[in-house]
């Protein structure tokens, strides 16, 4: 687990445990780039490439944020977020829909199930407000 050292107002060190993020993205290059971006912004990140792998990861480890591509090879992002929210240990994660489509195209159910929406291509200006809310 990564520990970040921050400076308080008096110049002393504060230690903060890095927040954990899971990326569910079937395109490996995009997943790796997104992982690097999250790590650059202070998160510890893992990625998986299918809904099945996401269910396994979430059942063995807790994450503060879960970024889910809406178009996965084995399931839809909408079906996956329903399954993840139903896990007995899952109570605190924030779920972020990630898509190349506009938010208006998501539909009411998706907007209710996801905490945030992030449009591809991902940029820091769109990502930072989400990370600050987690």
Domain span at residue 76? Answer: 19-133
Residue from 46, 42, 2 nearest 23 by CA: 46
How confident is the model over 53-79, as a mean pLDDT? 95
Task: Give the pLDDT band (50/70/90) at residue 128.
Answer: very high
The reported pLDDT for the residue numbered 102 is 66
- Total domains in the chain come to 1
| Torsion sign, CA atoms 83, 85, 90, 95 | positive
The reported pLDDT for the residue numbered 7 is 43
The reported pLDDT for the residue numbered 89 is 75
Task: Return the residue matching tokens 């893992």.
Answer: 46
The answer to the question of residue 11 being in a domain is no
Q: What is the pLDDT of residues 77-121, one digit of tens each?
A: 999 999 999 998 777 999 999 998 766 667 777 888 999 999 999
The answer to the question of residue 63 being in a domain is yes
Beta bridge pairs of residue 66: 22, 95
Q: What is the pLDDT of residues 2-50, one digit of tens each?
A: 333 334 444 544 445 789 999 999 999 999 999 999 999 999 999 999 9
The reported pLDDT for the residue numbered 16 is 55
Range 11-48 burial, b when 16+ CB lie within 10 A, else e: eeeeeeebbbbbbbbeeeebbeebbebbeeeebbbbbb
User: Is the predicted pLDDT of residue 1 greater than 50, yes or no?
Assistant: no
Assign residue 118 the CATH number of its domain.
3.40.50.2300
The reported pLDDT for the residue numbered 91 is 79
With helix as H, strand as E and coil as C, how does 114-131 read? CCEEEECCCCHHHHHHHH
Residue from 41, 27, 31 nearest 134 by CA: 41
The answer to the question of residue 1 being in a domain is no
The answer to the question of residue 12 being in a domain is no
Residue from 123, 26, 129 nearest 73 by CA: 26
Beta bridge pairs of residue 94: 65
The pTM of the full predicted model, rounded to 2 decimals, is 0.84
């Amino acid at each position: 687990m990564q520990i970040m050292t921050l400076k308080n107002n008096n110049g002393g060190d504060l230690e903060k445990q890095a927040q954990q993020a899971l990326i569910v993205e079937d395109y490996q290059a995009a997943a790796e780039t997104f992982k690097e971006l999250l790590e650059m912004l202070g998160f510890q990140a893992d990625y998986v490439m299918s809904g099945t792998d996401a269910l396994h990861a979430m059942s063995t480890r807790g994450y503060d944020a879960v970024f889910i591509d809406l178009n996965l090879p084995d399931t839809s992002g909408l079906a996956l977020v329903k399954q993840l929210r139903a896990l007995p240990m899952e109570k605190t994660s924030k779920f972020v829909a990630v898509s190349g489509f506009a938010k208006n195209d998501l539909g009411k159910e998706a907007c209710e199930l996801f905490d945030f929406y992030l449009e591809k291509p991902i940029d820091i200006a769109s990502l930072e407000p989400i990370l600050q809310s987690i």
